[in-house]
A and B are shown apart, each in its own frame.
Chain A
Amino acid sequence: AQKVTQAQTEISVVEKEDVTLDCVYETRDTTYYLFWYKQPPSGELVFLIRRNSFDEQNEISGRYSWNFQKSTSSFNFTITASQVVDSAVYFCALSEAGRGSTLGRLYFGRGTQLTVWP
């Protein structure tokens, strides 16, 4: 079973629409870390945000916001008023740190391709 599931393979929106990228994770650990990375068409991978399992505060950074809900094992990413430059593949990732975990492993979801049309 996948530890990180990004069910949306592709999403297309028109500029200025809001869009939410879903990420569901699976872990038995109480201590873990979640990440979002962006891969624009140029191919590089860029870190966006991290969250530890003890911090359920949602975060907003400009047009980006993240909703972490332990009750549903989700760490969703919302882009408000999307722009063409937001077109990219977005990856969610999980790192576990509890006893019995394989420390150092990083599990990525399969990614969501977001296309924003002008």
Chain B
Amino acid sequence: EAQVTQNPRYLITVTGKKLTVTCSQNMNHEYMSWYRQDPGLGLRQIYYSMNVEVTDKGDVPEGYKVSRKEKRNFPLILESPSPNQTSLYFCASSLSWGIYEQYFGPGTRLTVT
């Protein structure tokens, strides 16, 4: 089954404790991206990767890192999480950028206390 998987689905952590949210797709997609969803703010792009060689910042990259060492994986790293990073996070992939629709993962609900 073609899909984007994220782990964990739910995470409660404390300020400053490094964490990684994994994202993997099995569709051989070139493009991958991370978004956060907050009430009243919609979806905001954190980072995106056009392919394994190109990664760039989105709207709200502060406090996040990403890595695209291989095509299928695009982990999101929070080196020192803070309460303002409490949010619902979505990973997505698409065949390429531009006209191609995004396939979204199920989301990761992160709470930082």
Where the two chains meet, the residues of A that have a C-beta atom closer than 8 Å to any C-beta of B are: 6, 9, 33, 35, 37, 43-47, 50, 52, 91, 93, 95, 97, 102-111
Decide: B99 and A104 in contact? CB cutoff 8 A.
no
Residues of B within 8 A of A102 (CB): 56
Decide: A91 and B43 in contact? CB cutoff 8 A.
yes
Residues of B within 8 A of A110 (CB): 40-42
A6 CA to B43 CA in the complex, in Å?
A: 12
How many chain B residues touch the partner (CB < 8 A)? 27
A44 CA to B37 CA in the complex, in Å?
A: 12
A106 CA to B99 CA in the complex, in Å?
A: 10
A33 CA to B90 CA in the complex, in Å?
A: 21
Q: Quick one: CB contact mask for B14-32 with A, threshold 8 Å, 1 for yes?
A: 0000000000000000010
Residues of B within 8 A of A35 (CB): 101-102
User: Quick one: given A44-B107, A97-B98, are A108 and B42 in contact (CB under 8 Å)?
Assistant: yes
Residues of B within 8 A of A47 (CB): 101-103
A50 CA to B101 CA in the complex, in Å?
A: 7
Residues of B within 8 A of A104 (CB): 31, 48, 50, 54, 56, 97
The answer to whether the Cβ of B68 comes within 8 Å of any Cβ in the partner chain is no
| Chain A: CB-nearest residue to B51 | A104
